[in-house]
């Protein structure tokens, strides 16, 4: 598999206008490295960038977007409201702060980071509706929501619920959640789509990667795309950015999908005690 540098943004499929391969920025907190990785990714062809208030890097992400030779309006930019900021007025205030740090007038997607701590479905989602109506956010999202939380949110929101961002990868396929999201017309966005490196050690994924002369990361990202899931792998160096981007060239056949779908190991990487599934 080549470096993927010949691929263009048009080669990346989109889900309701959201590019299905994006860049995650968790733990990317070095100011210069973060800004440079964002700029590099955008100039490589990425058009979807994901951050969060809790990542403490919104300012650096914004700098990277400003430094890139790419129009802001061509970038699908997402951030998340921290669990300590989910009271109604705090949502409004901290989102304005996030926009200032990012250097933008609006974000394309704003998520509730977790349905815990100060989250109150009625109050929190009412604030998201206000932001949507005021044009400060273009889509409403949630993260780490279980089916019951999703159904409640859909009922309470006036705005459409656009996406649910959760951990998803071949070792945590999230079949039930994918089905519920499909029924509710909610996109699924996968964080930790490479299971924090665990996919590299799975013999079945190694076998498919060898067959396609691809990396295990590329195969895992292609598998998610085949399932209709948007992936936002974290990467900072140009090599990893390029390797992930080149996953757009990998086309899995039915045999490949069956081999990966048959994995019996289930492994959750992000499992805090506060998580709604615990």
The tens digit of pLDDT for each residue in 65-109 reads: 999 999 999 999 999 999 999 999 999 999 999 999 999 999 999
Least Cα distance to 127 among 93, 154, 155, 152 occurs for 93
Averaged pLDDT for residues 135-155: 98
> What local confidence, expressed as pLDDT, does residue 6 receive?
85
Helix (H, G, I), strand (E, B) or coil at 141: strand
End-to-end CA distance of the chain: 40
| pLDDT above 80 for 5 | no
Catalytically annotated residue among 55, 111, 119, 191: 55
Is 55 a catalytic site residue? yes
| pLDDT above 80 for 3 | no
What's the mean pLDDT when you consider all of the chain? 96
Averaged pLDDT for residues 21-40: 97
Query: With the CA atoms of 109, 114, 118 and 124 taken in that order, what torsion angle do they form, in degrees rounded to the nearest 10?
Result: 30
Output the six-digit token pair for 253: 């056949």
Distance CA 30, CA 144 (A): 26
Look up the pTM and report it.
Answer: 0.97
């Amino acid at each position: 598999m080549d470096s993927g540098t010949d691929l263009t943004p048009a080669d990346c499929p989109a889900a309701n206008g959201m590019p299905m391969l994006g860049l995650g920025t968790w733990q990317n907190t070095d100011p210069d490295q973060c800004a440079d990785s964002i700029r590099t990714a955008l100039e490589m062809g990425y058009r979807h960038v994901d951050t969060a208030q809790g990542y403490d890097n919104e300012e650096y992400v914004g700098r990277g977007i400003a430094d890139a030779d790419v129009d802001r309006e061509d970038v699908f930019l997402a951030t998340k409201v921290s669990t300590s900021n989910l009271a109604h007025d705090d949502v409004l205030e901290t989102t304005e702060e996030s926009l200032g740090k990012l250097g933008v007038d609006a974000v394309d997607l704003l998520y509730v980071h977790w349905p815990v701590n100060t989250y109150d479905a009625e109050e929190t989602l009412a604030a998201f509706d206000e932001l949507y109506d005021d044009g400060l956010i273009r889509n409403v999202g949630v993260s780490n929501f279980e089916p019951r939380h999703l159904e409640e949110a859909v009922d309470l929101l006036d705005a459409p619920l656009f996406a649910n961002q959760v951990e998803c990868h071949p070792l945590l396929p999230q079949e039930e959640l994918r089905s519920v999201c499909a029924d509710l017309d909610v996109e699924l966005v996968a964080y930790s789509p490479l299971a924090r490196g665990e996919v590299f050690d799975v013999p079945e994924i190694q076998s498919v990667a060898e067959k396609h002369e691809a990396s295990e990361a590329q195969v895992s990202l292609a598998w998610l795309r085949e399932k209709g899931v948007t992936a936002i792998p974290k990467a900072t160096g140009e090599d990893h950015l390029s390797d992930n981007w080149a996953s757009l060239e990998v086309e899995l056949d039915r045999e490949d999908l069956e081999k990966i779908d048959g994995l019996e190991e289930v492994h959750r990487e992000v499992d805090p005690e506060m998580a709604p599934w615990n």
